[in-house]
Amino acid sequence: MIVKKVIHEELGQELEKIGFRFVSGERLFWPYEREKDGIKQEIIIARDRYEKKSIKVIFHTSAYGQSPKEFCDFVPEDGAKYWELWGYENEEELREILREFKRLIFTYGIEFLETISKPSTDAIPTEEKNKYLYEHHQELFEEYQEKLGTKGKKPEEAIEIIYATMEKILDEPFAKVEDMLIGIAALYGHTICWGDKGEWCWSQESKQCMIKKVLGTQVDEYILSIVFNSWDYWRKHREQQKKNNPLFRQYNEVLIFYYIAHPEEKERS
């Protein structure tokens, strides 16, 4: 039995009628995709890595902040939360599963794709804003170091001040605080680099400002995404974020690698 052929006969042909096309996938995936209003939409039939006769459907789009979803995430029918993997023993059972997949996709999935084809937030670290940070990070660092009074502070103290500042603007519209968050990103980036122990550069591949080799380690950070995402998540999940400062967590992860390379400094810290 050629699984790809069966998938195409039972499901793929119907998806092609509404603009999807099969694209070459990996060994465990059979993806169909289309572009709509500049957003890539994907419906992927995926096989379990270990149970070869078990499959599921994954829905995904290129819209910012949207993560892959399965039937259990949005289908309202009873039992949907248990629909993770569907097992089959032979071709006829596979065809039956694919026909049910087709029913669920056309009843719920196509409409759901439209929902996740919109960005999950307005706090998007665009290429333009990343470029601005890359070109002006030094002057922004100096400006916000003065504004927030972090000059001469230990990194932990500076991050605490940064976090307190972000907390004060959680109720503000993103458009109003976007420039401040870019300045905070510059301050945070230089803070976790202890000033200049990191290489600010432009990633042509991801179109983002990044810091390579933070504190001389192999850790690279997309600094604007860290700050935007932290602020955005915090405004949506107040209590969870307050207990779990991601800026500290990111910094502490860098320190782990730094002290592995410099154990003598950990003794003195």
Of 123-127, 149-153, 259-263, minimum mean pLDDT range: 259-263
User: Domain locations in the chain?
Assistant: 3-115, 127-268
Contact 166, 233 (CB under 8 A): no
Q: Is the per-residue pLDDT at 269 higher than 70? A: no
Helix (H, G, I), strand (E, B) or coil at 39: strand
pLDDT of the residue at 224: 98
pLDDT at residue 196, as a whole number: 92
CA distance 94 to 6: 8
Q: For the residues 20-35, what does the mean pLDDT come to?
A: 90
The structure tokens listed for 36 are: 């709509």
pLDDT in tens, 51-69: 889 999 999 999 999 999 9
Q: What is the pTM of this model?
A: 0.82
For 201-257, how does the pLDDT look when each residue is reduced to its tens digit (9 = 90+)? 999 999 999 999 999 999 999 999 999 999 999 999 887 666 678 899 999 999 999
Percent of the chain whose pLDDT exceeds 70: 96
Q: What is the mean pLDDT of residues 14-18?
A: 97
- Quick one: CA torsion of 98, 102, 107, 112, rounded to 10 degrees? 90
Least confident residue range of 16-20, 27-31, 182-186, 199-203: 27-31
Q: Which alpha helices (H) appear in 149-173, and where do they start and end?
A: 155-168
17-to-14, 36, 102, 106 alpha-carbon distances in Å: 5, 14, 13, 12
Say which residue, 83 or 214, is predicted with more confidence: 214
Specify the range with the lowest mean pLDDT, choosing from 43-47, 76-80, 191-195. 76-80
> What pLDDT does residue 27 have?
78
159-192 pLDDT per residue, tens: 999 999 999 999 999 999 999 999 999 999 999 9
Q: Long-range contacts made by residues 222-225, C-beta under 8 angstroms, separation at least 24?
A: 222/125, 223/133, 223/185, 223/186, 223/188, 223/189, 224/125, 224/129, 224/130, 224/133, 224/182, 224/185, 225/125
In Å, how far are 122, 158, 192, 197, 266 from 258, measured between CA atoms?
35, 19, 11, 11, 9
For the cut 60, the answer to whether the pLDDT of residue 268 exceeds it is no
Q: Determine the average pLDDT of the residues in 33-40.
A: 97
Q: From CA 196, how far away is CA 78, in angstroms rounded?
A: 56
* pLDDT level of residue 42 (50, 70, 90 thresholds): very high
**Tens-place pLDDT, residues 69-82:** 999 999 999 877 67
Identify the pLDDT of residue 1. Answer: 62
Does the pLDDT of residue 101 top 70, yes or no?
A: yes
> In angstroms, what CA-CA distances link 134 with 154, 167, 202?
24, 25, 7
**Partners of residue 107 on adjacent β-strands:** none
